[in-house]
Amino acid sequence: MSTDNTAHGAHTAHVAHHFKTAEQQYSSGKEGIWLFMLTEILMFGAIFVGYALYHNEYPAMFAEGAKSLDWKMGFVNTLVLIFSSFTMAISISFIQKNQQKKAVLALATTVLCGAIFMVIKYFEYQHKFHLGLFPGKFLDVAKVGAEHANLGLYFGFYYVMTGLHGIHVLLGMGLITWCLIRTIRGDFHSQYWIVVEGVGLFWHIVDLIWIFLFPLLYLVG
Amino acid sequence: MAKTTAHGDNYINFEKGIWSWLTTVDHKRIGLMYFITVMFFFLVGGIMALLLRLELFAPNAAPNVGQILANGDVYNQVMTYHGAIMVFMVIVPGIPAILGNFFLPLQIGAKDVAFPRINLLSWYCFMAGAALAIATFFTTKIDTGWTFYTPYSIRTGTATAMMVLAAFIMGMSSILTGLNFIVTVHKLRAPGMTMHRMPLFIWSLYATAILQMLATPVLGITLLLLAVERFLGIGIFDPKLGGDPVLFQHFFWFYSHPAVYIMVIPAMGIISELITTFSKKVIFGYTAIAYSSLGIAAVSFFVWGHHMFVSGQSETTGIIFSFLTMLVGVPTAIKMFNWVATFYKGSVSFQSPMLYALGFMFLFAIGGVTGIMLATLPIDVHFHDTYFVVAHFHYVMVGGTLMALMGGYFYWFPKMFGKMYNETTARISFVFIFIGFNVTFFPQFVLGAMGMPRRYFDYIPAYENLNKISTVGSWLILIGFLFGLYTIVQGLLKGEKAPMNPWGSKTLEWQTASPPPHDNFSVEPVVTAGPYEYR
Ligand code: HEM
Ligand SMILES: [Cu+2]
């Protein structure tokens, strides 16, 4: 029927039919991902605002809460994530150079780092539960021996912020695994890598949020 | 993509079977799917509105219809569902998701939106959220009002968390739609379609999309915190644990005030299209109208405090917010004046879409002026949470958005379905809705000024007459919508075949077949002039 439809065959396989060129598709995809990341940042931004407000209101209570966090574990996790950001980034450059094997290795390392992060997180949570450091109304101030009656508020923030971040780490791991499988299948190559780049960007943002969370929760106080 | 079925000559018969609709990535089909679902929710919300008005027909002391809803609890529930459904499931997605999805690519000469699959995903998000919201109806119904104010929403033993999660998921849908629109506008315009040649409806969708992207995430986290608060008692909004319930209001209105512009800016876009088309004249002040949409979007982020004049925020804060709120009036007035100026020396024809446009201008003017009244700090202290507010926001949301939506439906009906509707019944529908609307809501300004509080299921006899008038008005609106429904169904079944461009419009969507082919245009359009080159 339409002239454009007959031109369908002229399209390369990975360019969707409503785009004219691969460049147009690439730049659209890229803008879409950045916009989505903006919403993630705004979402976390609001909870950071809440944190800042209450930190301001109850500095002593927040200090007491921060004391019970193990900054060493947090620090190790920070390193793990920074390294994983690096492996994620090189995986894309491998794909761009058509070195799929190396890319797969890099992606697998990234997922592994995510897993290490979550395991460490698990031990941290486990330890806190053990001590009875629960969020909000579940924190028994008398039993824990807390000085501040509303210490639960601090742990409310702690669990919500790290929990939400943790969910993002899990999501990211899933997405990277998906990229990994598709890389093995040969979907990505020097002509087409926007999907990996997008997932990579997501992963960097997740790291970045942690880099703000770590000092706020573990060090400031 | 390999298709097995025979391809028809337009998007409706392009593929057959319900499955081809549920898996479609065609923006036009997705627009129609939104159309059907949103209209269904509108029906549900509408029935609840009628019930509310029926309950308020007489004071409960009177031994009659005044006791439709068994007691105050049921009234609160029905009111909450009415409000939540109308806001989250009708008015917010309404114009962008239905008419925006359908016409944004057509008006800029694109084949589709930038991310067709995400477009479909956002419909599924919307449906999942809506299903969850409706499901709460079968558990412990919620009774907080659509604003979910803490601390009541934390303490009430109802399904708040579930409803709030539903709203969160629908928020995702809204974000995805906005994101899709922004990228589409940036990247997929046809050759020659510069930003300043875009139809004003596109400008309004663009401004709305920015709002959707910037405001909704904040609502998302707020609602998430509320849900967590319910489950874990984290204390952020709970004064018992050192939290602050008013913080919830700040967060909530930081989204929800801009959200009222998510509801109304696209409506203004439609009105611009209608007015220039039916005046047969290039719109007056194109750039001013285009940028005033962005202006409204920008200002709307700094006015949320006007919902909290009586919440205990400081007087200075109140005064600042009062002033900032009035600033929104400026870009709004710019639009109004430009529309009126467009009529000057135009050959105005009063087809039903134009009637809706005029209805919009009239009702929105009243809604806007009363909004300025409410923005005035000392007046609001008096009117806060009275029926004055109820009347105001219905004038804005129903008189504004819904009028534009109806006008838009009739305007684009021939393009969407390739059929003409019956002009007479469309006009009758308008007349009933317009008169019924004023009969319903104008008395409520008076009731509010007399001191009748909102969200009450009963009242003193002094308010009885005005409430009776108001309830009768709601029946007139019902009749109007039934006429509207009849017009649509009759047009679909028996309408004459529509020509390509029945109104003589100049924008791109009219330069393709009615209904449009699967790929929108048989030849890629090349744009050489602005959108409204009438004379
Ligand atoms: C068309 C006829 C309608 C009638 C007769 C009607 C009637 C009512 C009534 C009686 C209330 C309760 C007011 C109170 O006590 O505070 C109410 C609340 C509300 N209505 Fe409507 N309504 C109609 C349409 C709509 C539409 C189309 C919307 C869409 C935006 C809408 C949005 C709301 C909202 C947001 C509330 C507040 C609910 C709350 O406080 O949680 N209404 N309406
Ligand atoms: Cu507001």
pLDDT along chain B (535 residues), means of 10: 60 88 94 96 96 89 65 88 95 95 96 95 97 90 90 83 93 96 96 94 96 93 91 86 89 90 95 95 93 93 92 89 92 93 90 96 95 93 95 94 95 96 96 97 96 92 95 97 96 93 92 91 88 81
Confirm whether pTM is higher than 0.95: no
Q: How confident is the model at residue A142 (pLDDT cuts 50, 70, 90)?
A: confident
Q: So what's the pLDDT on residue B6?
A: 59
Whether B246 and chain A come into contact, CB under 8 Å, resolves to no
Q: Quick check: B480 and B412 in contact, CB under 8 A?
A: no
Q: CA neighbours within 13 Å on the CB side: how many for B92? A: 28
pLDDT of residue B139: 86
Domains and CATH numbers, chain A: 35-219 (1.20.120.80)
Give chain B positions within 8 Å (CB) of A147.
none
CA end-to-end distance (rounded Å), chain A: 69
CB contact at 8 A, B55 and B457: yes
ipTM: 0.89
- B419, β-bridge pairs: B497
| Distance, CA of B95 to CA of B97 (rounded, Å) | 6
Taking the C-alpha atoms of residue B473 and residue B421, their distance in angstroms, rounded to an integer, is 26
Contacts of B216 in chain A (CB under 8 A): 39
CA dist., res. B113 & res. B102, Å (int)? 10
Sort out which chain B residues have CB atoms less than 8 A from A36's CB and list them.
175, 179
Q: Go through B142-170 and write b for each residue having 16 or more CB atoms within 10 A of its CB, e for each that does not.
A: bbbbbbbbbeebbebebbbbbbbbbbbbb
Q: What is the mean predicted confidence (pLDDT) over A13-24?
A: 86
A6 vs A2: CA distance, rounded Å:
7
Query: Which amino acid would we find at residue A52?
Result: A
- State the pLDDT at residue A10: 45
B residues 273..332 contacting A (CB < 8 A): none
**What is the rounded average pLDDT of the residues A98-119?**
95
Specify whether the CB–CB gap between B341 and B284 falls below 8 A: yes
Instruction: Note every long-range contact of A17-21, with CB atoms under 8 Å and residues 24 or more positions apart, other chains counting.
Output: A17/B1, A17/B111, A17/B519, A18/B110, A18/B111, A18/B112, A18/B114, A18/B116, A18/B188, A19/B188
Ligand 1 pocket member B477 (CB < 6 A) = yes
CB contact under 8 A, A32 and B183: yes
Best of B82, B152, B482 for a ligand 1 pocket test (most atoms within 8 Å of beta carbon): B82
A80 close to A117: Cβ distance less than 8 angstroms: yes
Q: By alpha-carbon position, which residue is closest to atom 19 of ligand 1?
A: B83
Residue A136: closest C-alpha in chain B: B234
Look up residue A97 and give its DSSP letter.
T
Q: Quick one: how many helices (H) and strands (E) in chain B?
A: 19, 0
**Encoded amino acid at B158, one letter:** T
Given an 8 Å threshold on Cβ–Cβ distance, is B225 in contact with A138?
no
> Residue B240: CB partners within 8 Å, gap ≥ 6?
none
User: In this predicted model, what pLDDT tens digit does every residue of A21-79 receive, in sequence order?
Assistant: 888 999 999 999 999 999 999 999 999 999 999 999 898 888 888 888 888 888 999 99
Q: How far apart are CA A127 and CA A130, in angstroms?
A: 5
Distance, in Å, from the CA atom of B207 to the CA atom of B241, rounded to the nearest integer, reads 40
Report cis status (omega within 30 of 0) of the bond before B151. yes
Q: Are B106 and B202 in contact (CB under 8 A)?
A: no
Distance in Å, alpha carbon of A117 to nearest chain B alpha carbon: 24
More confident residue, A202 or A3: A202
Token pair recorded at residue A147:
């000085």
- CA of B258, nearest ligand number: 2
- Residue B522: what are its φ and ψ, rounded to 5°? -75, -30
Measured in angstroms, the CA of B222 and the nearest CA of chain A are apart by 8
Which of B9, B183, B236 has its CB closest to that of A156? B236
**Residue B257 falls in which region: left (phi positive, over 0), alpha (psi -120 to 50) or beta:** alpha
Phi and psi at A7, nearest 5°, equal -75, 0
Please return the burial class of B344, using the count of CB atoms within 10 Å of its CB with bins 0-12, 13-18 and 19+.
Answer: exposed
Categorize the per-residue pLDDT at A6 as very low, low, confident or very high, splitting at 50, 70 and 90.
Answer: very low
φ/ψ of residue A139, rounded to 5: -80, 120
Phi, psi of B147 (to 5 degrees): -90, -10
Phi, then psi, of B134 in degrees rounded to 5: -65, -35
Contact A188, A182 (CB under 8 A): yes
Residue B332 sits at the vertex; the CA angle it makes with B331 and B334, to the nearest 5 degrees, is 65
Whole-number pLDDT of residue B384: 94
B235 vs A150: CB contact, 8 Å cut-off? yes
Q: Is B220 on the interface with A (CB under 8 A)?
A: yes
Three-state secondary structure call for residue B345 = coil
List own/partner pairs for B149-157 with CB under 8 A and 24 or more apart. Answer: B149/B245, B149/B248, B149/B249, B149/B252, B150/B226, B150/B229, B150/B237, B150/B238, B150/B245, B150/B248, B151/B237, B151/B238, B151/B239, B151/B245, B153/B226, B153/B230, B154/B226, B154/B229, B154/B230, B154/B233, B154/B237, B154/B238
Whether the CA torsion B37, B38, B42, B45 is positive or negative: it is positive
Cβ contact (<8 Å) for B221 and A47? yes
Q: Is the bond leading into B353 cis (omega within 30 degrees of zero)?
A: no
Please compute the mean of the pLDDT values over residues A163-176 and round it to a whole number. 96
Q: What letter does residue A171 receive in the DSSP assignment? A: H
**pLDDT in the model for residue B62:** 63
Q: What is the pLDDT of residue B46?
A: 96
